[in-house]
C-alpha cells in the first residue's frame, strides 16, 4: 500500500500542471505546488528509510531424516519393509514393531532388574567399521565421543521362573561410526552390487549373531518416569536429535558413554539429569526390557522409575537442564490410563523401542489381553475364534466320545460315563421336544443329534468345526438329510424364524470371553421360549485357558427373561453338571 501513494500523487501533479497550462489560475497553481511538495517529501522519506527490507522467512532447521508415521511403525501394511524382515519382532494384537525383545516379559515383575542385578565387564577388543561404510559422509559432530558397544550378554536364573541376574560385556566405539552405518542401513552399497548395507551386514533373519556382527551394536538407554500422581512422562524429540528426530520417546534417553566403568543404570541417570534435570532414584528404578531396534540396529536398555515426585515437579524443572532445549521439543505427562496410552502410541510418531516399552509397561499393569483389546477390540475375539476352531478340529480326530470328553477323565471310564450322561440328559428333556423345531448348539459328533432327529419335527445343528459336523453326519447316516447343518459360531446365528426349543450341552463353559458369552446367551434368548442348559458349574476349577465354568446363578443371570421350570444336578466323573429347563416369562 505504501508504494501506491507516490504514484497517485505523481499522477495528480501531472494533471494539475496540464490544467494550469490550459487555464492559468491561482487555485491551480497552489494545488500543483502542494502536490509537488508532498511528492518530494515522500521521496526523501523513502530514501531515509534505506533500501526495502527483504521479506522475512521462518528460520530453516537442518533437514531431518524422514520420521516414521504410525502406519510405518506398525507392520500391518502391505508394503514390505526391510526392518520387518526379522523374526521374533515385538508383536501385540497382531501388529509388529521393528524391535526384537531380547529380555523382557508381559507379566508384572517378569524379568525386571535392579542395579545390583547387573554386572558389567569391559574388553579392549578394537572395533573397525567395515570399509564399505567409509565412503559415507562423515557427520558433523561437536565432539566424536566414545560410546559403548555390546559384545555379549548372559542371563542367570536362580530360584525363579525369570532371569534375575545379567552380565554385559562392553567394548569401545566412536559415535561417528554408528551414524555412518546404523543410520544408513537401507542405502545402496556403492559397489554396484544392487545390495543394501542391511543385505550384506544384517541379513540373518533371526539376528542370532548380532553381537558378533560387523555393525556397531551401539548401546542406547531410555527411562519412563512414572510419577506419584499416576502420570507417565514422555518426551518429543527436536529435529536436531541424531536418531529418531521429531518423534515421541522415553522421558529421557540417549547413548551410553564409554568410560572407566560404564553401567546402564549410571548412564540412564546421567541422561535423565542432562536432558530433563531429574535425578533418578536408583532404588526406585528397574531395567524392564532389553532389545534390538531392527530399523537402525542398536541395542536398547529400557528402564522405568516409579518416582515419588509429581509430574508438575518434574516438568517444571526440566527446561533448566543442559540438553533440554537442544534435544527435547516438549515433555508431556500422560495419564497412566490404558486407553489414553494406547491411543497416543497408535496415533503419534514414536521411537519403536519406546513404543514397545510403553506397551510392555501397560501389559504389566493392566494385563496383556486388555492391552490387545485396547489396540484392536476385535483382535482377541478373532484370535480366540481361530484357537477354538483349531482346538475342536483337532479334537474331532480323537476316537469315539473322547472327541467331546475331557482327557482329565480316566480313559477306561470315559465311554461309559459319556453314555450315562446322555441317558440322564435325555431323561431330563423327556418329551418336551417331541414335534418341535429344535436348535442344537455345539452339536459336535452327534451324541444329542441322533436322539433329537427322531423326535423333533425340525432339527438345526450348529457347530464351529467342519470336522465335528462331518462326524455328526456320519453318525446319523441317512437321517442326516433331515437335519440343517450350519458351520458357524453360534452367537452369529440369526434365524429367519424362531425355534421352539434351544439345547446347549457343555457349550457355555467354552465361551471364556464374557462378551462372547453374553452374545451367545442373547442369541439363544431370541430363538426360543424354552432353553435346555447342561453346564459345568464347578467355579474355581478352570483347567484350561479355553474353559470358564460359571456358577448356576451366573448362568441364570445371563437369561433374565426366563424362569427355572425345573432343574437337577448331575455328577460327571466328579464334575458337577447343572441341568436346567428355562422358560420365558409370560408377557404381562
CB-CB contact of 298 with 222 (8 Å): no
- Measured CA to CA, the distance from residue 235 to residue 503 in angstroms comes to 57
Q: Helix axis angle, 352-366 relative to 368-375, nearest 10°? A: 120
Report the pLDDT value the prediction gives residue 163, as an integer from 0 to 100: 55
Same domain, yes or no: 280 and 171:
yes
Contact in structure between 104 and 89 (CB atoms under 8 Å):
no
The residue range of the domain holding 24 is 4-48
Identify whether residues 438 and 473 lie together within a single domain.
Answer: yes
229, 306: one domain: yes
What does 187-222 look like in DSSP terms, one character per residue?
A: SBPTTSSS-BHHHHHS--TT-TTGGGSSS--BEEEE
CA distance 289 to 492: 41
Q: What is the reported pLDDT for 75?
A: 54
Whether 479 maps to a domain, the answer reads: yes
| Domain CATH number, residue 354 | 3.90.79.10
Task: Return the biggest CA–CA distance within the chain.
Answer: 135
Query: Tell me, what CATH number does 536's domain have?
Result: 3.40.50.150
- Neighbour tally for 517: CB within 10 Å: 20
Number of domains in the chain: 3
Sheet of strand 165-174, all strands in order from the earlier edge strand to the far edge: 118-122, 165-174, 146-156
Are 75 and 43 in a shared domain? no
Residues 440, 520 within the same domain: yes
pLDDT given for residue 98 in this prediction: 94
SS3 content of the chain, % helix, strand, coil (to 5): 40, 25, 40
Residue 57 lies in a domain: no
Output the tens digit of pLDDT for each of the chain's 588 residues: 334 434 444 544 454 454 444 555 555 454 545 545 454 454 444 444 443 333 232 322 333 333 334 444 555 554 568 888 888 899 999 889 999 999 999 998 888 999 999 999 999 988 999 999 988 887 777 778 999 999 999 887 665 656 578 999 999 999 999 999 999 999 999 988 999 999 999 888 777 677 778 899 999 999 999 999 999 999 999 999 999 999 999 999 999 999 999 999 999 999 999 999 999 999 999 999 999 999 999 999 999 999 999 999 999 999 999 999 999 999 999 999 999 999 999 999 999 999 999 999 999 999 998 999 999 988 878 888 888 899 888 888 988 888 888 877 888 888 899 999 999 999 999 999 999 999 999 999 999 999 999 999 999 999 999 999 999 999 999 999 999 999 999 999 987 778 999 999 999 998 888 888 999 999 999 999 999 999 999 876 655 667 889 999 999 999 999 999 999 999 998 889 999 999 998 754
CA 154 – CA 189 distance, rounded (Å): 34
- Beta strand pairing status for 530-536 and 575-584? antiparallel
Give the pTM.
0.70
Are 486 and 557 in the same domain? yes
Instruction: Locate 421 and state its grid cell.
Output: 450322561
Q: Where are the alpha helices (DSSP H) in 348-378?
A: 352-366, 368-375
User: 476 with 515, same domain?
Assistant: yes
> What secondary structure does DSSP assign to 21-50, as a single string?
HHS--HHHHHHHHHHHHHHHHHHHHHHHT-
Distance between first and last Cα of the chain: 82
Helix (H, G, I), strand (E, B) or coil at 86: coil
Render the burial of 483-508: b for 16+ CB within 10 Å, e for the rest. Answer: bebbeebbbebeeeeebbbbbbbbbb
Contact 197, 127 (CB under 8 A): no
DSSP per residue over 287-345, as a string?
Answer: EEEEEEETTTTEEEEEEEEE-SS-HHHHHHHHTTSTTHHHHEEEEEEEE--HHHHHHHH
Task: Count the neighbouring beta carbons within 10 Å of the beta carbon of residue 206.
Answer: 10
Domain end (from 377, 411, 427): 377
Which residue from 465, 457, 439 is spatially nearest to 527, judged by alpha carbons?
439
Nearest to 352 by CA among 247, 224, 215: 247
**Cell numbers of 473, please?**
453326519
Residue 519 and residue 480 in one domain: yes
433 touches 455 (CB < 8 A): yes
Taken in order 78, 83, 86, 90, the sign of the CA dihedral is negative
Query: Is residue 53 one of the residues assigned to a domain?
Result: no
Residues 145 and 197 in one domain: yes
For residue 9, give the DSSP letter.
H
Residue 553 sits in the same domain as residue 421: yes
C-alpha cell at 431: 418329551
Residues 6+ apart with CB under 8 A from 478: none
Return d(Cα 375, Cα 363) in angstroms, integer: 12
Q: What is the pLDDT of residue 13?
A: 46
Instruction: Give the model's pLDDT for residue 176.
Output: 92
Residues 110 and 21 in one domain: no
Residues 438, 528, single domain; the answer is yes
Residue 506 to residue 401: CA distance in whole angstroms:
14
| pLDDT for residue 101 | 93
What phi and psi values does residue 356 have, to the nearest 5 degrees? -60, -40
Backbone angles phi, psi at 517, to 5 degrees: -60, -45
Amino acid at each position: 500500500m505504501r508504494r501506491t501513494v507516490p504514484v497517485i500523487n505523481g499522477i495528480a501533479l501531472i494533471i494539475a500542471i496540464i490544467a494550469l497550462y490550459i487555464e492559468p489560475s491561482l487555485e491551480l497553481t497552489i494545488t500543483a505546488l502542494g502536490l509537488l511538495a508532498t511528492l518530494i517529501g515522500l521521496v526523501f522519506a523513502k530514501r531515509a528509510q534505506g533500501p526495502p527490507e527483504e521479506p522475512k522467512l521462518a528460520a530453516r532447521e537442518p533437514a531431518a531424516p524422514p520420521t516414521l508415521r504410525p502406519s510405518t511403525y506398525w507392520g500391518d501394511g502391505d508394503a514390505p519393509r526391510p526392518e520387518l524382515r526379522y523374526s521374533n519382532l515385538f508383536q501385540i494384537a497382531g501388529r509388529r514393531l521393528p524391535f526384537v525383545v531380547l529380555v523382557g516379559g508381559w507379566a508384572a515383575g517378569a524379568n525386571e532388574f535392579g542395579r545390583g542385578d547387573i554386572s558389567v565387564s569391559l574388553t579392549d577388543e578394537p572395533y573397525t567399521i567395515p570399509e564399505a561404510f567409509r565412503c559415507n559422509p562423515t557427520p558433523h559432530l561437536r565432539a566424536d565421543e566414545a560410546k559403548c558397544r555390546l559384545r555379549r550378554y548372559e542371563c542367570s536364573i536362580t530360584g525363579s521362573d525369570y532371569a534375575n541376574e545379567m552380565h554385559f560385556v562392553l567394548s569401545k566405539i566412536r559415535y561417528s561410526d554408528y551414524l555412518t552405518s546404523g543410520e544408513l542401513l537401507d542405502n545402496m552399497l556403492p559397489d554396484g552390487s544392487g545390495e543394501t548395507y542391511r543385505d550384506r551386514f544384517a541379513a540373518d533373519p533371526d539376528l542370532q549373531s548380532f553381537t558378533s556382527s560387523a555393525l556397531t551394536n551401539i548401546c542406547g538407554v531410555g527411562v519412563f518416569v512414572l510419577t506419584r500422581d499416576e502420570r507417565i512422562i514422555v518426551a518429543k524429540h527436536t529435529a536436531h536429535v541424531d536418531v529418531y528426530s521429531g518423534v515421541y520417546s522415553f522421558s529421557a534417553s540417549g547413548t551410553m558413554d564409554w568410560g572407566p566403568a560404564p553401567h546402564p543404570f549410571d548412564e540412564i541417570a546421567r541422561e535423565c539429569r542432562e536432558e530433563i534435570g531429574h535425578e533418578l532414584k536408583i532404588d526406585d528404578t528397574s531395567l524392564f526390557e532389553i532389545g534390538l531396534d531392527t530399523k537402525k540396529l542398536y541395542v536398547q536398555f529400557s528402564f522405568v522409575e516409579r518416582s515419588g515426585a509429581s509430574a508438575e515437579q518434574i516438568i517444571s524443572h526440566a527446561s533448566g537442564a543442559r540438553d533440554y532445549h537442544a534435544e527435547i521439543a516438549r515433555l508431556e505427562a500422560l495419564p497412566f490410563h490404558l486407553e489414553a496410552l494406547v491411543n497416543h502410541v497408535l496415533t503419534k510418531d514414536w521411537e519403536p523401542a519406546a513404543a514397545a516399552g510403553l506397551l510392555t509397561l501397560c501389559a504389566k499393569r493392566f494385563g496383556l489381553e486388555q492391552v490387545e483389546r485396547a489396540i484392536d477390540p476385535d483382535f482377541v475375539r478373532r484370535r480366540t475364534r481361530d484357537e477354538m476352531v483349531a482346538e475342536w478340529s483337532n479334537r474331532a480326530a480323537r476316537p469315539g466320545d473322547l472327541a467331546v470328553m475331557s482327557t482329565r477323565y480316566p480313559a477306561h471310564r470315559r465311554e461309559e460315563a459319556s453314555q450315562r450322561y446322555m441317558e440322564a440328559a435325555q431323561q431330563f428333556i423327556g418329551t418336551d421336544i417331541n414335534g418341535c423345531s429344535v436348535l442344537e448348539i455345539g452339536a459336535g459328533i452327534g451324541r444329542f443329534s441322533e436322539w433329537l432327529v427322531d423326535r423333533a419335527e425340525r432339527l438345526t445343528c450348529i457347530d464351529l468345526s467342519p470336522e465335528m459336523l462331518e462326524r455328526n453326519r456320519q453318525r446319523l447316516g441317512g437321517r442326516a438329510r433331515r437335519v440343517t447343518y450350519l458351520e458357524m459360531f453360534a452367537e452369529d446365528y440369526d434365524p429367519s424364524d424362531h425355534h421352539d426349543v434351544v439345547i446347549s450341552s457343555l457349550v457355555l463353559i467354552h465361551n471364556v470371553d464374557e462378551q462372547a458369552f453374553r452374545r451367545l446367551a442373547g442369541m439363544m434368548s431370541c430363538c426360543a421360549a424354552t432353553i435346555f442348559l447342561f453346564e459345568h458349574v464347578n467355579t474355581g476349577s478352570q483347567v484350561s485357558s479355553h474353559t470358564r465354568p460359571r456358577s448356576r446363578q451366573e448362568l441364570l443371570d445371563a437369561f433374565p427373561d426366563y424362569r427355572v421350570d425345573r432343574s437337577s444336578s448331575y455328577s460327571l466323573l466328579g464334575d458337577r453338571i447343572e441341568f436346567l429347563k428355562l422358560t420365558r416369562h409370560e408377557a404381562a
